[in-house]
Amino acid sequence: MYSNLKTGGRLLLEMGGAGNIETIITALSAALKEKGYIKQSQTSNWYFPKLGTYCYFLEKSGFQVTFAHLYERPTKLQDPETGIIDWLNMFAKHYFTDIPDAEADAIRKEVQEQVHQALFRDGHYYADYKRLRICAIK
C-alpha cells in the first residue's frame, strides 16, 4: 500500500478488527470440535488485528497514523429464522471442508442455537462485527 501512494497521500481503510465475529466463530469451532472435526475447528482464515498492532505495522512501514478507531457494529441479518445459518453459508464455507452436507447443515443449526441468546434481539439475529477504521498519511 505504501509504495502505491504519493508522498502526502492518504490511506483510508476499514476492516474487521479484534473480536470481529468472535461469538459466531467461537460457537462454530466448539461445534466442529464436539463432532470430531478437529482440523476444521482450528481453521483460521481471517485476520482481525488489534488497533495497536495494525497501527504499529503501518507506522513501521512509514505511514503516520492520524486516526484509528475500533468499534462495535452489530449487523442485522436478513432472515429472522436462519440468519446465522445463512451467514455461515456465505462467509464460513471453508470451515465445512470434507464434512458431509447433512452433518454440515446440522452443525450450522447447532451454531445458530448456541449463539441465539447472545445475538438474537428484536426478532432478528445480529452478526457481532467489530470494525477497525484507520486514516494514515504517507
Task: Please give the angle made by the CA atoms of 18, 24 and 29, to the nearest 5 degrees.
Answer: 100
Q: Is the pLDDT assigned to residue 44 strictly greater than 90?
A: no
Reported as a single tens digit per residue, the pLDDT across 68-93 is: 999 999 999 999 999 999 999 999 99
pTM of the predicted model, to two decimals?
0.90
Q: Residue 45 has what pLDDT? A: 84
- CATH code, 39: 3.40.50.150
Instruction: Please report the DSSP string for 56-116 in residue order.
Output: HHHHHTT-EEEEEEEEEEEEE-S-TTTHHHHHHHHH-GGGGTT--HHHHHHHHHHHHHHHH
At 73 the three-state DSSP class reads strand
Mean pLDDT of 23-39: 97
How many domains are contained in the chain?
Answer: 1
In terms of residue numbers, what domain contains 76?
2-137
